[in-house]
Amino acid sequence: MFSGEIPMQIGDLKCLQNLDLSYNNFSGAFPMSLNSLGDLSKFNISYNPYISGVIPSTGQLATFEKWSFLGDPLLRLPPFISNATNETQQGENVRGKNARGIGTFLVVFALILAFIVCGLMTLIVCLLVKSPIDSPGYLFESSKNHAEFASSSGSSSPWLSNKIKVIRLDKTAFTHSDILKATRSFSDDRIIGRGGSGTVYRGVLPDGREVAVKKLQTEGIEGEREFKAEMEVLSRSGFGWPHPNLVTLYGWCLNGSEKLLVYEYMEGGSMEDLITDRISFNWRRRLEVAIDVARALVFLHHECFPSIVHRDVKASNVLLDKNGKARVTDFGLARVVDAGGSHVSTMVAGTVGYVAPEYGQTWQATTKGTCIATGCWQWSWPLGDGLWTEGKNV
């Protein structure tokens, strides 16, 4: 460690480039001869507390920052050296804060992104592995259990396949065994209606829902066609796209050639049963039913894509729920057609008296023909019975 005055002769070393006098005990006046060292690029005289004097505002010493003069309280520096040093320090502090802020943001963003990715992966896994009981879809049941149930319940119906397919459109599961228990193995005392395509049974599922189970009797190609048509229409409008004026389908069951439809039970009965009751089923109520049926047809004809032609709108195919709202049912003869188009049949389908004249001639079912059938059915209301009744000429 050096002490005493700094030799003025150092200023004669014109080629001197580096001069470090820091951390010594130099005292006395600062030699102004050092300001003439034009090649000096590095200079440090910091932490010499006893040296005094004034650093000139011009010359080589004025090019160095305050860091070269730290710890020298007796030295007086030019103002611009002090200000430049403060600005530099502030700039470095700001850059340091910005760097720390960006680093913190990146860490937080990475954590949030990781949580989102983990959440999405968890959701995907849950959707892929969740039980069929929790979601609509297919449910396969072994035929062994159903054969044992049928045998114990006295039913002799053979099971024609190794697997029974139950397709559910809502989130509440039911099995083929539940259908058998609800209908008492399709006991006659559970029958609530018969039609050309099958028999309808009333039952209660384990969750308490009252259902109407339609057991299709038509076999062969025509039976397959009717079943496919009803599935296509009801699955679209029942739960995939609910409508208050169409029957709600809960699902269906395939067991060999046996085909079952399970849909909501309508407590109010059918229009066919109520049309003769002119007291309780007055004209105000009939107008409300007509509006409900019209809304159902608007949905089928204009809000479904492609459009759906019912082809058999009549009193027995209009049911009332517990609130008296009319719902159209029995889509066994329905067909899907393109917008503004028609469906060509190989035979006339529908009920005599409700078929549009042009359909009987051209065999082309259209949405307009369904409207004609609806009008014919409503035209029979003043008679109090069907449009075509033996002994009557309308």
User: What are phi and psi for residue 349, nearest 5 degrees?
Assistant: -110, 145
* R_g of the chain, CA atoms, integer Å: 47
Tokens of 79: 């103002």
Q: What is the pLDDT of residue 394?
A: 46
**Under 8 Å between Cβ of 208 and 199:** no
Per-domain residue ranges for the chain? 3-77, 134-265, 268-394
Cα–Cα distance measured from residue 226 to residue 330, given in angstroms and rounded to the nearest whole number: 10
pLDDT band at 220 (very low <50, low <70, confident <90, very high): low
pLDDT in tens, 176-201: 888 999 999 899 999 988 876 788 99
**Under 8 Å between Cβ of 42 and 18:** yes
Is 312 a known active-site residue? yes
Domains 3-77 and 134-265 belong to one CATH topology: no
Tokens of 251: 């699902």
Tokens of 103: 């680093």
Q: Which CATH superfamily is domain 3-77 in?
A: Ribonuclease Inhibitor (3.80.10.10)
Known binding site for ATP: residues? 215
Q: Which residue has the higher pLDDT, 166 or 2?
A: 2
Q: Which of 272, 264, 306 is nearest to 289 (CA)?
A: 272
Checking if the pLDDT of 202 tops 90, the result is yes
Cα–Cα distance measured from residue 83 to residue 105, given in angstroms and rounded to the nearest whole number: 32
Cα–Cα distance measured from residue 248 to residue 263, given in angstroms and rounded to the nearest whole number: 6
Tokens of 240: 């995939």
Q: What is the pLDDT of residue 203?
A: 93
178, 292, 312, 330: the catalytic one is 312
pLDDT in tens, 333-381: 455 544 444 433 333 344 545 555 554 544 455 666 556 566 666 656 6
Cα–Cα distance measured from residue 372 to residue 13, given in angstroms and rounded to the nearest whole number: 118
What integer is the mean pLDDT of 129-154? 42
134-265: CATH topology is Phosphorylase Kinase; domain 1 (3.30.200)
DSSP string across 62-119: GGS-GGGGTT-TTEE--HHHHHHHHHHHHHHHHHHHHHHHHHHHHHHHHHHHHHHHHH
**Under 8 Å between Cβ of 307 and 336:** yes
Is residue 148 helix, strand or coil?
helix
Cα–Cα distance measured from residue 164 to residue 146, given in angstroms and rounded to the nearest whole number: 9
Q: Tokens 């053979």 map to which residue?
A: 158
- Cβ atoms < 10 Å from Cβ of 66: 19
Q: Which of 69, 57, 54, 60 is nearest to 22 (CA)?
A: 69
Q: What is the pLDDT of residue 116?
A: 92
Q: What is the pLDDT of residue 168?
A: 64
CA atoms within 13 A on the CB side of 330: 21
Q: What is the pLDDT of residue 307?
A: 74
Cα Dmax for the chain: 144
Tokens of 264: 């909501």
The whole-chain average pLDDT of the chain stands at: 71
Checking if the pLDDT of 9 tops 80, the result is yes
* Sequence letter at residue 340: G
Q: Which residue has the higher pLDDT, 149 or 118?
A: 118
Checking if the pLDDT of 65 tops 90, the result is no
CATH architecture of 268-394: Orthogonal Bundle (1.10)
Torsion angle of C-alpha atoms 275, 276, 279, 282, degrees rounded to 10: 30
Query: What distance lies between CA 121 and its chain's CA centroid?
Result: 16
Q: Which residue has the higher pLDDT, 376 or 7?
A: 7
Lowest-confidence pick of 152-161, 294-303, 304-313: 152-161
pLDDT band at 268 (very low <50, low <70, confident <90, very high): confident
Q: For the purposes of burial, counting CB atoms within 10 Å of the CB of 160, is it exposed (0-12), middle (13-18) or buried (19 or more)?
A: exposed
Lowest-confidence pick of 97-106, 223-232, 263-272: 223-232
DSSP 184: T
**Under 8 Å between Cβ of 200 and 193:** yes
Q: Which residue has the higher pLDDT, 308 or 331?
A: 308
**Under 8 Å between Cβ of 22 and 45:** yes
Cα distances (angstroms) measured from residue 203 to each of 130, 135, 218, 378: 29, 22, 22, 31
Q: What is the pLDDT of residue 189?
A: 92
- Cβ atoms < 10 Å from Cβ of 232: 15
Known binding site: residues? 215
Q: For the purposes of burial, counting CB atoms within 10 Å of the CB of 237, is it exposed (0-12), middle (13-18) or buried (19 or more)?
A: buried
Lowest-confidence pick of 76-90, 248-262, 268-282, 317-331: 76-90
pLDDT band at 207 (very low <50, low <70, confident <90, very high): confident
Angle at 389 between CA 383 and CA 394, to 5 degrees: 60
